Amino acid sequence: MNIPINFDKIDGVKFDLNGRRYRIETDHMEKGDVWVYSDNHIRDLNWPLCFDIDWQKQTYALLKCKPGDGRNGNVLATDTSLIEHLMRDMDLFIFFIKDIVNALIINKII
């Protein structure tokens, strides 16, 4: 799978989850990376999440990164399969991200 044509449209999208505000940013240096930042800075939620997407292999790694350290951080998942139809629709992709963030909160990982 190639990177979706409209991938950059998710850059700057904000969403609320469990009373917290998050924003999505696409990484223009590492084409295909998606970063999720908390705008609330509660606990260590100010550590951004990096979805390191490999579009050719259709997998992603998920990292929890210390601010200012780039992609260096705690690896939460590796070689996780992408669900192709979720990657082709902006709203479904945002739902996919929200669902993962919510699972990390419920499991007290973030």
Inside any domain, residue 22: yes
Inside any domain, residue 2: no
Q: How many domains does the chain have?
A: 1
Domain that holds residue 17: 7-106
Inside any domain, residue 69: yes
pLDDT in tens, 76-105: 999 999 887 777 788 888 999 999 999 998
Q: Which two tokens stand for residue 55?
A: 């579009």
User: Which regions of the chain are under pLDDT 50?
Assistant: 44
Cα distances (Å, whole numbers) of residue 107 to 23, 32, 44, 76, 88: 21, 26, 14, 12, 28
- The residue to which tokens 């919510």 are assigned: 102
pLDDT computed for residue 33 by the predictor? 87
pTM: 0.85
- The residue to which tokens 């998710």 are assigned: 10
pLDDT computed for residue 47 by the predictor? 85
Inside any domain, residue 17: yes
Inside any domain, residue 1: no
Whether the CB-CB separation of 47 and 66 falls below 8 Å is answered with yes
